Every structure is written in C-alpha cells, then in structure tokens.
Structure 1
Amino acid sequence: MASTLTHRPTTTMAQSTIRPESESKAPASEASARGAAIYSQSWLLVIYDWWVLGIVSTYAWACSVPDYTLPWFRSNVRKGQHLDIGVGTGYYLAKSDLSGVQVTLADLNQDALDATKNRLVAAGKVKAEETTCILHDITRPLPASCPKFNSMSLYYLLHCMPGPVPAKTAIFSHLKHNLTADGVITGASILGKDVHHNLFGRVIMYFGNRGGMFDNRADNSADFDEALREHFHEVDTQVRGAIFLWKASKPKV
C-alpha cells in the first residue's frame, strides 16, 4: 500500500499518539527513505485511491480492488488487535468493518500515518484515543510495547521494499513473533516476474522502478510462497493478474 517503514518514535498501547521512546541508531536505507518520501506529498495522498487503487490496479495490474484485494483484506481482519503496516491512505481499513478491532498503524511516513488515522476517525471506524501510530522501520523488530496481534496486513508494500525477495521476506522472521498462535498475516504485492504485464503495466513498472517507488523486477510468486512457508505452517496464495495475494497463519516460533 505504501512506503517501507524508520524506527524513531513509538507509542505504548495505552496511548494513541506517537510518543518518542527511543531513536534508532541505524537510519532507514536510502532506497526505503526515497520510496517513503513520495508519500509525504499531499497531492499523492489525495489521488492515491482513485489512481493507484482504481485505475492502475484495474487496468495495469488486472486485479480489481473491489473484486479481489478488498474482499481479501476484509476476510482477514480479526477482532482484537490488528496491525496495518505501510498504511497508504487507509483505504482498506476505511472500507472494512472494524467493530471489535483495536487498530495499530505502522509506517515510515508521518503524513501517511496522520492521514490514515484522521480518515478512520472521521469515518467513525475508530476512536482517536484508542488508535496507536508507530513510526517504524518494519525491517526491524517491532517495539517491545506492542502486543501480540490477532491479524496483520501489508498491502502494496513488499514491492516497494528494496532488495530481492529474501531481503523483503526477512521481515517475517520477527513479525511472526508478534502474531497470536491463531492469528493471520495477509497482504498483496505487485509481481515483476513470471506474470503478464500489459503495455500500461510495463510503463508503470518502468517508471516505478526507475523512480524508486518500486523495487520488484525480480519479485515472483514462487519465491514469496517459499518464504512464507518457511515461517508459517499454513499458507494460502493466489495470483490475480500481476498481483500476488497471500495470507499465512500458525507461525513457526
């Protein structure tokens, strides 16, 4: 959905606002920071839903959000604690039933966190004082203040992360420890390899990778599937157009 994520301030679960707790000694990678910076532009947050989740997803990736990725998201949000990583504009959460769900938002970009939280509060989906925001680099373990989550989501995030598939999926080695035994982690990502890209899709891929928004030319479903099975006992994956949809449960810890 959005940017890769730098651990600076974090929150306790009793607080809804970001509170400085510690500063990471290692900054986000240049590639991660470049991708995240794009989401600081307010105009992008305004047009993201229409352009990326509407036009591009449907006509470039051949994977309609209302038909595929949104139902996939909704079916994998569990009551209890939910962590959304790489929040974008909060579209998926805003379009889902969040009754009984305690939402935590994690992203590298403060603008995206603010926009998403404000959107959810305005829509009556969450209460501001009960929603936690974490400014965090997801390549590192989550803050110790985080609970175990009943569900996690990473939508349109992995293709933005720098490096080959093993570098991206290394995040599961620590995220699985923050998932409850019966919890589920789910996501969607744009593949660059072993799928058909139409002309529109190839243009988006070219400029996305050249400009630093994407790093997914070598991303393929087989490598993602293998990595997920390394960390989880139950894995369900499918490819719709150029989009890899996945969910995993029963973490191997």
Structure 2
Amino acid sequence: MDRDDAAYKGQREYTRPFLTIYDSLVLGFFAPVVWRIPPARLVEEYRRHLGDRHLDVGPGTGYFLDRAGIHDHQAVTLLDPNRNVLEFASRRLQGHDVTLIEADVCKPLPVHGPFDSAALSGVLHCLPGPLPRKAVAIANVAAVLAPTGVLFGATILGDSGHSTRLSRTVLRTNNRRGTFDNLGDTLEGLREILEASFEDVELEAVGSMAIFAATGPRVNQPTDGTL
C-alpha cells in the first residue's frame, strides 16, 4: 500500500516480526485483558457463519480460520493490502484451498464472487474515519456476497464503548499513533452503516468490542473490481 494512502497507518505495523508475536500479544493479552473479549468468542462466530466460499478481509495471522477449522469442501480467499499478512496467514493455512488477494477493502474488490460468507474481524477500527466513511468497506463486501451470504466480524468501539481506564488509555494511544481511527465509532453508528448495505443486522457489545452479523445484502452484483 502506498504510504500516502489514508489507510496506510492502520496496517503499517503488520510486519513479519510483529506477526510472529501477534497471537500471544494481541489475542493472548489485549483481547481478554484490555478489550475484555475472549478470542474463543470470536472463533465461535467463524464456526457459526463460515460458508463454502469464504472471503476473509484482514485475516491477521489466520488464527480464527485455523481455530474454526476449514473443511476440504471450503474455499477461502484472503484479502489484505499488506503482503506480509497474506503470506503469514497462507502459511498457517497451507494444505487448504486458499487464494490470496492484495487489495484495499475501501476500494472496489478485485475478486470473483459470489461468496457465501465474509469476515471483517478487527478491521473497521483500523480504517480511516469517521465511521460513515467506513461504510464503503461494508458496501464493497456486500457487493460480492451471494443473496444468502453473511458478513460477520468484530470491531473495537470508540469513547462510547464500555471502557475501563486501561482500555481508554490504550484506545487513545492507538488513535494518536494512527493505528486506530475509531474514537467516534459507536454501536448505533455501526448499525447504520451495516443496515445501509444489509437487510438484517445482529449486533452485540462484548466488553469494548461490537460483534456483528449481517444478512440480506442489498447489492447482489459481484464485481471483479473493474467497474
């Protein structure tokens, strides 16, 4: 990704060395201690929603897909603007039907749908804000889902979330550094941008995070990114 791109700061820290400690640091400490959500809760969402053709936007280390389990009949597409992420996650998922796409979810997606499921887990709070600006990412994913497809994921809420002193400190530090851009992200605002692209939306606040699942995409015209 170009350093001048507005989304660059949100993914610049995903270097190869950082990815080697990501699971123990981010999932082992920050998720349960700072954001107060056990990683197992997010794995449950993958097990519940993972379809035969799945698009994983921002797959991180591939932890959730690995823990949820990919069956032989399932095909997974990993999409991320950071090549380090794609290579790391694909190594973890080797032996499965995995396709890598280096792309930005805030731009038309260069993928061939339709997908049965798509995940945006830990992505939205890293995208350039304010929250209404992130609606394009939701719309781009909706455009490549099957009519019966589901978008699911989780994101860290801003100041309006159920925060502790520790989580507020980490939240503001990450926003100052540019790793997050989510101080104004609210549960209500998240519902609005999801409902703009989907008929039915489920939302749940867990600690400082929102877990969501959306079905009935309002746009069912898969794109190859050339529109």
Check whether TM > 0.5: yes
Aligned mate of 2:90, from 117, 123, 129 = 117
Encode CA deviations 1:182-231: one digit per residue, 9 max, x unaligned.
11011100001322221221221122111111001001110111111121
Aligned residue for 1:237, secondary structure, equals: strand
Encode CA deviations 1:159-193: one digit per residue, 9 max, x unaligned.
00011111112222232120001110111000013
Aligned mate of 1:233, from 189, 192, 199 = 199
Aligned residue for 1:170, secondary structure, equals: helix
Q: Is 1:177 the equivalent of 2:116?
A: no
Question: Aligned AA for 1:97?
Answer: G
Instruction: Give me the TM-score of the superposition, normalised by structure 2.
Output: 0.91
How many angstroms apart in 2 are the aligned matches of 1:29 and 1:155?
Answer: 25
How many angstroms apart in 2 are the aligned matches of 1:215 and 1:208?
Answer: 8
Aligned residue for 1:131, secondary structure, equals: strand
In structure 1, list runs of 5 or more residues that go unmatched.
1-5, 7-26
In structure 2, list runs of 5 or more residues that go unmatched.
220-227
Identity %: 33
CA gap 1:28/1:176 in 2 versus in 1, 3 angstroms? farther
Q: Alpha-carbon deviation of 1:147?
A: 2.1
Q: Alpha-carbon deviation of 1:35?
A: 2.2
Give 1:59-138 correspondences, 5 Å limit.
59-66=33-40, 68-79=41-52, 81-99=53-71, 100-121=73-94, 124=95, 126=96, 130-138=97-105
Q: Alpha-carbon deviation of 1:28?
A: 6.9
Encode CA deviations 1:90-136: one digit per residue, 9 max, x unaligned.
11011112112101000010011000000111xx4x1xxx3210110
How many angstroms apart in 2 are the aligned matches of 1:147 and 1:225?
Answer: 24
Question: Aligned AA for 1:32?
Answer: A
Aligned residue for 2:11, secondary structure, equals: helix
User: Match of 1:45?
Assistant: 19
Aligned residue for 2:214, secondary structure, equals: strand
Question: Aligned AA for 1:53?
Answer: L
How many angstroms apart in 2 are the aligned matches of 1:98 and 1:204?
Answer: 33
How many angstroms apart in 2 are the aligned matches of 1:183 and 1:78?
Answer: 8
List structure 1 runs of 4+ shifted beyond 3 angstroms: 27-31
Instruction: Give me the TM-score of the superposition, normalised by structure 1.
Output: 0.82
How many angstroms apart in 1 are the aligned matches of 2:149 and 2:211?
Answer: 17
How many angstroms apart in 2 are the aligned matches of 1:57 and 1:175?
Answer: 25
Question: Aligned AA for 1:199?
Answer: R
How many angstroms apart in 2 are the aligned matches of 1:151 and 1:97?
Answer: 15
